[in-house]
Amino acid sequence: MEFKQITKDSGCGARLGVIATPHGEVRTPAFMPVGTQGAVKALMPEQVRGLGADIILGNTYHLYLRPGHRLIAEMGGLHRFMNWPGPILTDSGGFQIYSLGALRTITDEGVLFQSHIDGSSHFLGPESAVAIQEALGSDIMMCLDECIAYPADRNEVERALARTARWAERCRKSRKTSDRALFGIVQGGVYPDLRRRGTEEMTTIGFDGYAIGGLSVGEPKELMLENLASTAPLLPEDRPRYLMGVGTPEDHVEGVFYGIDMFDCVMPTRSARNGLLFTNREKVVIKNARYREDGSPIDSECDCYTCQNYSRAYLRHLYVTGEILAMVLNTIHNLRYYLRLMERMREAIREGRYPRFRDRFLRERADPGVVCGTATGIGG
């Protein structure tokens, strides 16, 4: 993996770059649609690509349980299995396992957990987390880390941070492939000094890229931004920076401002299936009676297939009657909204006007109508 920085905005931390992977290039800042179980929910890969996605995310926890990483390896790897020829980043499975709550026990060795599907017992350690991701054929693998919910006392966060460092070391040692990237994850809760310590530990071990984990897990938005703002600039300039599982369009605009290159979140796809549609101006809850006779598109400024061809009245009808096509068309719109926002941010950085872009974006979305807190949990 190679990360090439094309330009940096002089007025803030925003960077424009390209990540080269064995399966193609990723333009950064990049949003990665989530393909939890080997599919970006409701869409064919060609549609995902057509919406502007360079890379997607796969969930190790889900794929390990069903259909199993060995089966996927036998079928030629995840790319071939799901017909997505582009880059894939996989998470370590850790985050989903922590979300299991009572169903898991964490020790220094790793995590003992019970499947949410059938209750069967499984063990995931740093070595197996890497081995599973290698079997899947991931282009960018993530270290197993220990994520702590908010609020948590400082001692607990510190203990998890130390374990995350030991696990990261073991992940790095256990990898068998050299052409696939491995990212370290910085934890540290909402304690900037612990985040600093986490950054030092990760960069000392040395990874192909660095992620900020454990944000947007229930903490107030200000604390999230504060920790993002203080941590991002500490990460090495010459490596991709990934803000895990966050979040709203505003979060992405802020993340890029502080120097983040990669994002993932289930918000656009999950909201779409719940009939919540993103626009720059208003929140569209498509089932509302006010859209019953509304012949206009979701967003007249949007260039997506859904907005080019369908009215709010039709989309409301599909949603209310439970048509599968509602899920497809809504997902197309929301993903395009997120991916187009990335395009607009990349353009603003290229033209050296990112701070102005950010100010205007945040001002215009006075009432974004989007709930904070985007933790994925088991649902994927």
187/334 with CB nearer a copy of itself: 334
Please report, as residue ranges, which positions from 54 to 83 form the binding site for a copy of itself (by CB under 8 A): 66-67, 71, 74-76, 81-83
Active site (annotated) includes residue 91: yes
Contacts of 18 (CB under 8 A, 6+ apart): 3, 4, 6, 25, 26, 27, 28
- The closest of 194, 213, 217, 222 to 260, measured between CA atoms, is 213
230/311 with CB nearer a copy of itself: 311
Verify cis geometry, omega within 30 degrees of 0, for the bond prior to 67.
yes
Is 321 a binding residue for a copy of itself by CB under 8 A? The answer is yes
Distances (CA, A) of 335 to 48, 52, 237, 298: 8, 9, 29, 13
Is 378 a binding residue for a copy of itself by CB under 8 A? The answer is no
Q: Of 91, 145, 251, 299, which residue is the catalytic one? A: 91
310/361 with CB nearer a copy of itself: 310
Position among 172, 196, 287, 317 found at the interface with a copy of itself (CB under 8 A): 317
Residue position matching structure tokens 């036998």: 74
d(CA 93, CA 64): 9
Q: How many CB atoms lie within 10 A of CB 281?
A: 14
Give the interface segment with a copy of itself, choosing from 98-106, 166-174, 231-239, 292-300 (CB under 8 A): 292-300
Is 295 a binding residue for a copy of itself by CB under 8 A? The answer is yes
Please report, as residue ranges, which positions from 105 to 164 form the binding site for a copy of itself (by CB under 8 A): none
Distances (CA, A) of 317 to 90, 109, 158, 287, 303: 36, 52, 51, 8, 22
Please report, as residue ranges, which positions from 37 to 56 form the binding site for a copy of itself (by CB under 8 A): 37-39, 41-44
153/323 with CB nearer a copy of itself: 323
Using an 8 Å Cβ cutoff, are 349 and 15 in contact? yes
Please report, as residue ranges, which positions from 192 to 221 form the binding site for a copy of itself (by CB under 8 A): none
End-to-end Cα separation, the chain, in angstroms? 26
Which residues have a catalytic role annotated? 91, 264
Residues lying near a copy of itself in the complex (CB under 8 A) = 37-39, 41-44, 66-67, 71, 74-76, 81-83, 292-293, 295, 305, 309-311, 313-314, 316-318, 320-321, 323-325, 327-329
